[in-house]
Structure 1
Amino acid sequence: MIVFLYGLLAYAAFLVTIVYAVGFVSRIGVPKTIDTGPDTSAINALCINTLLMALFAIQHTGMARKWFKNRWARYVPNCIERSTYVLMASLCLMLLFWKWRPLPAVVWQVDDPDVFVMITTLSFIGWATVFASTFLIDHFELFGLRDVIANLRGLGIPAPQFKTPLYYKFVRHPIYLGFIIAFWAAPVMTIGHLLFAIVTTIYIFIGIFFEERDLLKQFGDQYGQYKRQVGMLIPRRKSG
């Protein structure tokens, strides 16, 4: 029961964080957004924001690697490994939201109301793609609930399965594609938002490199053939 409650706590932290992230990037409905916060010099803001994003990237990529999981397993039971990963990622994002420093100079701004609405809608389509894609594979596995529920029921943790439902038939990483759309579809783009979009996009490509390397080791030729047939971020499907 303690393990189950811990998993629920980690999942609740994820939900709060991802909902806040939507408002943070979109500048809607949250007390502190990507363009608000304490005033500081541009150099200080650039350094602080880059360090915050680097901290998240190191945690998010490092804890997902097999060598780290093997060492981590000495201290953390397998049933809460995923929940702990999710909780740590959420805490890193919360720190980023809290300590982010704005760089409010405008790079571009859309003044036409109709175009403004269109771009904002595109951004929310990106977020919707992220959420929908998690449910298409296994939302509760991704965020740790499956493992703690299995533990509560006295069952073993199911082995991961390779599947390509709906979006995944045409793009290998629809979650990352959704994030890129959400971050770049901005009717008002400030330097701070541009920094966030550039760094997170670079990180996405780095994350894809490591993730696909792990998937090739895990699923072998099955994933190799999928990789050859389906586009990474641009929807594409070859017959074969």
Structure 2
Amino acid sequence: MRKTPILLYGLISYAFFFLTFLYAIGFVGGFLVPKGIDDGPATPVAQALLVNFSLLSLFAVQHSVMARPGFKRWWLGWIDPALERPTYVLLATAALALLLWQWRPLPESVWSVTNPTLAATLIGLSQFGWLFVLLSTFMFSHFELFGLKQVFVRFAGRRMPEAEFRTPGLYKLVRHPIYLGFIIAFWATPVMSQGHLLFAAATTAYILVGIMLEERDLIALFGDDYRRYRERVAMLLPLWRRVTPAQHNLASAPTNDARREWPR
């Protein structure tokens, strides 16, 4: 393909992602968008659950399958390598946009915080979670993560550098700060409806499964570098650390200077 169409494709894919991401912030928080997570016509509970689970499943399957190395190797046999990441971002964003558009509300309240200070704190915490997500992407490589770097490198006639193992900024505190930001953003709310609870619980479960698959791929790619990193740095909570066999033996030994670590 010509360089200019590839560049335009990458720019359109990124713009679609960024606008959908901004809409998702308002959708989860219930502000500044035409349709929030608890908005829309009343739907029978069984129908709402079926539709919402189908939308969540579609997003999870697309997001996970296309991220696997085996699928990428097959996919790269059909498309220009510079288009692989923008296409993944485009399709993942399309699945998310469909979810936001077709989500069925389940507005029955699970909890509602009436204290103004606490309610404002929870709203602020949710917004902090979204900011945490964005900061985490920029600390790693925001434009590579969303396919822009690949198309610009292709446009310049250069080759992408080989992947290298790095742990910048927040990645020194937790292994998956992007996922941690999403969990904070989804769960910190003063009004938790049944629909919001379904969304938060399902996405959190998907995140945990996604971490397992992602770390398997990272170990295959980086080997002992990632294994040591996983032993040294917590998965999601900075104070919740993994105990290695050597640390466990040390903690169990009857010595005065043995100290116990928090398990993961």
Pick the TM interval, shorter chain: over 0.9
2:146 paired with 1:143: yes
Looking at structure 1, the residues matched to 42 and 92 of structure 2 have their Cα atoms a distance apart, in angstroms, of 26
Aligned-residue offset at 1:38: 2.6
Looking at structure 1, the residues matched to 223 and 41 of structure 2 have their Cα atoms a distance apart, in angstroms, of 49
Looking at structure 2, the residues matched to 119 and 108 of structure 1 have their Cα atoms a distance apart, in angstroms, of 13
SS in structure 2 at match of 1:198: helix
Looking at structure 1, the residues matched to 178 and 104 of structure 2 have their Cα atoms a distance apart, in angstroms, of 27
Among 118, 131, 138, the alignment partner of 1:128 is 131
Aligned to 2:97: 94
Looking at structure 1, the residues matched to 157 and 77 of structure 2 have their Cα atoms a distance apart, in angstroms, of 21
Aligned to 1:30: 33
Aligned to 2:250: none
1:75-94 deviation per Cα after TM superposition (whole angstroms, max 9, x unaligned): 22111100000000000011
Looking at structure 2, the residues matched to 160 and 15 of structure 1 have their Cα atoms a distance apart, in angstroms, of 25
One-letter code aligned to 2:146: F
Aligned-residue offset at 1:170: 1.1
2:205 paired with 1:202: yes
Among 77, 83, 88, the alignment partner of 1:85 is 88
Among 175, 194, 202, the alignment partner of 1:172 is 175
Aligned-residue offset at 1:161: 1.7
Count of residue pairs brought into register by the alignment: 239
SS in structure 1 at match of 2:137: helix
Looking at structure 2, the residues matched to 158 and 14 of structure 1 have their Cα atoms a distance apart, in angstroms, of 24
SS in structure 1 at match of 2:111: strand
Aligned-residue offset at 1:147: 0.4
Unpaired segments ≥5 residues, structure 1:
none
Please show how residues 3-82 of structure 1 align to structure 2 within 5 Å: 3-82=6-85
Give the TM-score normalised by structure 2.
Answer: 0.89
Looking at structure 2, the residues matched to 111 and 87 of structure 1 have their Cα atoms a distance apart, in angstroms, of 40
The structure whose RCO (Cα within 8 Å, separation 6+) is larger is 1
Unpaired segments ≥5 residues, structure 2:
248-264
Give the TM-score normalised by structure 1.
Answer: 0.98
